[in-house]
Amino acid sequence: MRHFGHIAPAVRQRLFHQEPSAFSADSPAKLLSAALGATLYSPATRPRLADDIVKQAANGVVSMVLCLEDSIGDADVVAGEENLVRQFADLASRPGVEPPLLFIRVRTPEQIPDLVRRLGATVRLLSGFVLPKFTEERGIPFLEALTAAESAGGHRLFAMPVLESPELLYRESRVDTLEGISRAVDKYRDRVLALRLGVTDFCSSYGLRRAPDMTAYDVQIVASVIADVVNMLGRADGTGFTVTGPVWEYFRVSERMFKPQLRQSPFLEVQAVELRAKLIEHAMDGLLREISLDQANGLLGKTCIHPSHVLPVHALSVVSHEEYSDAQDILRPERGGGGVLRSAYTNKMNEVKPHRAWAERTLLRAEVFGVAHEDVGFVELLAAGIPG
């Protein structure tokens, strides 16, 4: 699979200076953590889940979470587990189908070995489990169960802990909670693919809900948690983890609404103005601003609960030609001793040592999301990626 793999090769060549690279569920963890992109959640109870997975993969989704936790009722858990076993068997029976990276969000540690056993040979389609309300005390049993299930099944499984507990939100317990989480995920570092933020749960502790014209960063109590999570768990010194962006709750937008006007002439400047107006009108402007703020604050990828969110996340994750040029200049072998140089775009100074970690992260993102041609921006990427 690859990002933008659902669009024609000729179109990719027109859009990308460096095309996104291919990867698979067997790729190195560092690459997969950067490649998660817009991780689409779906209730595990959906009766045509296998069809949904195939459809979303064809539309550019590369990672999905099949949820047995908050998205379904307590009375539906058993039915959801049974449905997952059936749907995985259905997927496995389809020749030539490569599903996205698939994860199951469980409620209890005991579900992990039970589901791995029940999935049998179809567990090969599973990339791991999402662990809810993760703290050191609650999280260690999940990680132990995952490790044991992996050993018993002989198939690599990753964990994606969700940081969403009240202990993490409350000021008096936040540091102790973060230190505990840090100990837990460091102990199982090889198993932890990424850390996910549960901002909806944070807001619920205070009876808050952000409006469609506000981002998570406008809610100060939430922004403070994100900052502390990145501070302690997202460092670029080799001790950190990939931290993904929070969910965006609004989805009134329809992709079909944009398709006719974009197909007419997607490279004209007027199209950018018209598209922007449509996005604002239909509550997408907040999403675009939040994705940009996610990236500015050290987050990569995003939890998504609607397919219309996927393409904006991926389009804004593509590395611009200017970013790529700067990153390459900073990481040239002859720059190893440091120093300051003017960018090739002659609009900024690149400091080799302070900007090295940024450059390394940028080139990793370029590997999985590609590098746009110099004259290609978000609107062109969005227009090209809308399903036919």
Give tens-digit pLDDT for 150-159. 998 899 999 9
CA distances from 318 to 54, 175, 226, 260, 301 (A): 24, 34, 23, 24, 11
- The residues pairing with 243 across neighbouring beta strands, listed in sequence order, are 195
Tell me, yes or no, if the pTM score tops 0.85. yes
Name the residue with tokens 């402007």. 285
Spatial separation of the C-alpha atoms in residues 192 and 131, rounded to whole Å: 10
Spatial separation of the C-alpha atoms in residues 352 and 340, rounded to whole Å: 6
Mean residue pLDDT of the chain comes to 90
pLDDT at residue number 281:
46
Q: What is the mean pLDDT of residues 281-292?
A: 80
pLDDT band, residue 256 (cuts 50/70/90): very low
pLDDT band, residue 253 (cuts 50/70/90): very low
pLDDT at residue number 173:
97
pLDDT at residue number 388:
60
pLDDT band, residue 363 (cuts 50/70/90): very high
Task: Give the range among 10-14, 63-67, 273-277, 372-376 with minimum mean pLDDT.
Answer: 273-277
> With pLDDT > 70 as the criterion, what percentage of the chain qualifies?
91
For residue 258, pLDDT beyond 50: no
Dig out the tokens for 107 from the structure: 């409620």
Dig out the tokens for 355 from the structure: 């900007």
